[in-house]
Amino acid sequence: MTKQFNGIFRTWTRVQHARHGALPVLWGDCIVHLSHPEFSGNILHTSGIIDIIEHGGFKIAQTRNNYYALLGPELQIPPGDVVDLEAFILQHRSREPALDVYASAAMNADPGCINCGGAGVYRCGEDRLCVCDRCCKHNQGWWQLEGGYGADNGRWACKAGCGVVVDKQPPVLQFLPRTVA
């Protein structure tokens, strides 16, 4: 059986089995699940972690059957025997239900990108990821800068969060559906 890339977790934690020598279980906030889309957005676990590998701005967990991208930080389980893992992960879930740009960037990245190494994101701070401006497709639209943006007022910024700013509003993307009156 060939292992496939199967999902993306935002926040996650490793849980060691009580049985000595058993492989740990990965619990996390699954923002994208490819083989079972109905699991997307849920707190779920996958068993049998064989290895967790650092890959650019995120980590990849290898399990018995699949690979998973781990975008967010690894949560440390508080001491004690009685911990409700689902409630614990829910406490750390992003408060803002915005479109997850990191997942989109990882899925659309250029494999040969010299900026992010094909990850779509790169580490731009100790605990912060940035969307790669070379790989970004700018397909989530543009917003006009105003107010406290100073010299950039009146310019247009990519909504995906890659940091690209242009002088005039780009034309409407060709693949977006249009209404006909």
Average pLDDT over residues 86-110: 68
pLDDT at 122: 79
Q: For residue 123, give both structure tokens.
A: 């580490």
pTM of the predicted model as reported, rounded to 2 decimal places: 0.53
Q: Check the CA dihedral 86-91-94-99 and report its sign.
A: positive
Where in the chain are the domains? 4-96, 102-166
- Cα–Cα distance, 169 to 165 (Å, whole number): 10
User: For residue 18, what pLDDT band results from cuts at 50, 70 and 90?
Assistant: low
State the alpha helices, DSSP H only, in 71-120.
85-92, 101-108
Per-residue pLDDT for 145 more than 80?
A: yes
| Amino acid, single-letter form, for residue 53 | I
Nearest of 28, 108, 98 to residue 63 by alpha carbon: 28
Per-residue pLDDT for 178 more than 60?
A: no
Q: Check the CA dihedral 141-145-147-149 and report its sign.
A: positive
Contacts of 97 (CB under 8 A, 6+ apart): none
| Amino acid, single-letter form, for residue 55 | H
Per-residue pLDDT for 41 more than 70?
A: yes
Q: Check the CA dihedral 90-92-95-98 and report its sign.
A: negative
Q: For residue 17, give both structure tokens.
A: 């089995």
* Pairing status of strand 4-15 against strand 66-70: parallel
